[in-house]
């Protein structure tokens, strides 16, 4: 069994095959918290190679031939689930997409029993998304295959932060050290924000969050980031403007006065973007609420917005993560 290493990841026994170059390889990818700069850099460099592969005519590799990947999504997804499926298939793995809606979960089977049942079929990797923070960690302790967190509640979404970092790195042709990154919007409900805050801090970026007080979770100041409630001040001089979806489905009433008011004060428009650096990149993990957290024209601006590139990078990053976890080393 893999042994715990930190809250963010677990490492295999050092005597097992290596894949990271530091004599230990990833057993699970449960979060960014706990990863070190070297591991993140290796995953990004490996992802770069998969971008080239994905742009070529023949995208099929045999790296994971004979391995089995199961996608187990308890929450909806377009980007993450599809890109893990594509990533697995392009690496030559057998990929199963569990349909939670027609599974025995509907008869009352628990998350852990479901995971143990799938584990008995000898998959190599379980990719799991679940509404409860911490559920994916718990599951990883019960199974003996690798587990990737595809988003757990408001906790972490590590592959999203990695693909965001890859997008930034490729566009700016430099590392993340010293960049000013403004993460704007619904921080309280965002696992994307949490994973990005960890990753950007590890890589030496300056992180700001910009949000109404009701959408800033308690204790965020302990992570050493700057907190703003005014968009124009928060965006001043930013290299990267990362917008977040307003997650109304996770909210109790009263956190924002109305969607119209929210857009007026926190929606990204060209007017507000003026305060960021002239070539600041616009990012959004998707899915977007156009006209709520971002103006439609700004989102589609091919000179500024890298939102579609983020989706492309998602496949490459997931190929790199699957290779690090399940490749033969
Ligand atoms: N960014 C993201 O996780 O998108 P999906 O919910 O579509 O997977």
- Report the separation in Å between the CA atom of 177 and the middle of ligand 1, taken as the mean of its atom positions: 26
Ligand 1 atom nearest 78 alpha carbon: 7
- Report the separation in Å between the CA atom of 23 and the middle of ligand 1, taken as the mean of its atom positions: 33
Ligand 1 atom nearest 81 alpha carbon: 8
Cα distances from 294 to residues 26, 76, 274, 283, in angstroms, run 37, 22, 14, 10
Q: Are 61 and 90 in contact (CB under 8 A)?
A: yes
Is 160's C-beta closer than 6 angstroms to any atom of ligand 1? yes
Is 250's C-beta closer than 6 angstroms to any atom of ligand 1? no
Is 82's C-beta closer than 6 angstroms to any atom of ligand 1? no
Q: Are 270 and 297 in contact (CB under 8 A)?
A: yes
| CA-nearest residue, atom 6 of ligand 1 | 77
Is 117's C-beta closer than 6 angstroms to any atom of ligand 1? no
In the chain, beta strands by DSSP E: 3-4, 9-11, 26-29, 68-73, 94-98, 125-130, 146-152, 180-184, 206-210, 226-228, 240-243, 281-283
In this structure, the strands spanning 125-130 and 146-152 are: parallel
Is 285's C-beta closer than 6 angstroms to any atom of ligand 1? yes
| Top mutation candidate among 155, 287, 311, 315 for ligand 1, by most atoms within 8 Å of CB | 287
DSSP 8-state class, residue 284: -
What is this structure's pTM? 0.92
- Report the separation in Å between the CA atom of 169 and the middle of ligand 1, taken as the mean of its atom positions: 21
Per-residue pLDDT of the chain (329 residues; tens, 9 = 90+): 333 323 344 444 333 333 443 434 679 999 999 999 999 999 999 999 999 999 999 999 999 999 999 999 999 999 999 999 999 999 999 999 998 988 999 999 999 999 999 999 999 999 999 999 999 999 999 999 999 999 999 999 999 999 999 999 999 988 999 999 999 999 999 999 999 999 999 999 999 999 999 999 988 888 889 999 999 999 999 999 999 999 988 877 678 879 999 999 999 999 999 999 999 999 999 999 999 999 999 999 999 999 999 999 999 999 999 999 999 86
Is 79's C-beta closer than 6 angstroms to any atom of ligand 1? yes
Is 78's C-beta closer than 6 angstroms to any atom of ligand 1? yes
Is 159's C-beta closer than 6 angstroms to any atom of ligand 1? no
pLDDT value of position 14: 30
Give the Cα separation of 170 and 173 in Å (integer).
5
């Amino acid at each position: 069994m893999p042994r715990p290493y930190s809250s963010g990841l677990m490492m295999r026994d050092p005597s097992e095959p290596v894949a990271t170059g530091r004599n230990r390889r990833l057993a699970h990818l449960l979060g960014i918290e706990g990863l070190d700069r070297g591991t993140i850099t290796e995953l990004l460099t490996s992802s770069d190679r998969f971008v080239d592969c994905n742009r070529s005519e023949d995208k099929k590799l045999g790296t994971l031939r004979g391995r089995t990947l199961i996608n187990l999504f308890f929450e909806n997804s377009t980007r993450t689930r599809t890109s893990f499926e594509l990533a697995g298939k392009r690496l030559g793995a057998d990929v199963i997409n569990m349909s939670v809606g027609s599974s025995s979960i509907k008869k009352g089977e628990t998350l852990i029993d479901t995971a143990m049942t799938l584990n008995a079929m000898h998959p190599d990797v379980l990719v799991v998304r679940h509404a409860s923070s911490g559920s994916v960690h718990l599951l990883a302790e019960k199974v003996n295959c690798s587990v990737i967190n595809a988003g757990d509640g408001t906790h972490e979404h590590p592959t999203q932060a990695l693909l965001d970092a890859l997008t930034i790195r490729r566009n700016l042709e430099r590392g993340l050290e010293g960049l000013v990154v403004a993460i704007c919007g619904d921080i309280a409900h965002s696992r994307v924000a949490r994973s990005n805050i960890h990753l950007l801090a590890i890589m030496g970026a300056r992180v700001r969050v910009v949000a109404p007080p009701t959408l800033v979770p308690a204790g965020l100041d302990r992570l050493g980031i700057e907190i703003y409630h005014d968009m124009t001040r928060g965006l001043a001089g930013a290299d990267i403007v990362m917008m977040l979806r307003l997650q109304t489905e996770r909210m109790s009433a009263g956190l924002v006065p109305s969607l119209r008011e929210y857009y007026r004060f926190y929606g990204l428009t060209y007017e507000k973007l003026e305060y960021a650096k002239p070539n600041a990149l616009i990012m959004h993990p998707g899915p977007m609420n156009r006209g709520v957290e971002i103006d439609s024209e700004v989102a589609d601006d091919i000179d500024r917005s890298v939102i579609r590139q983020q989706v492309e990078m998602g496949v490459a990053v997931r190929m790199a993560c699957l290779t690090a976890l399940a490749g033969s080393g």
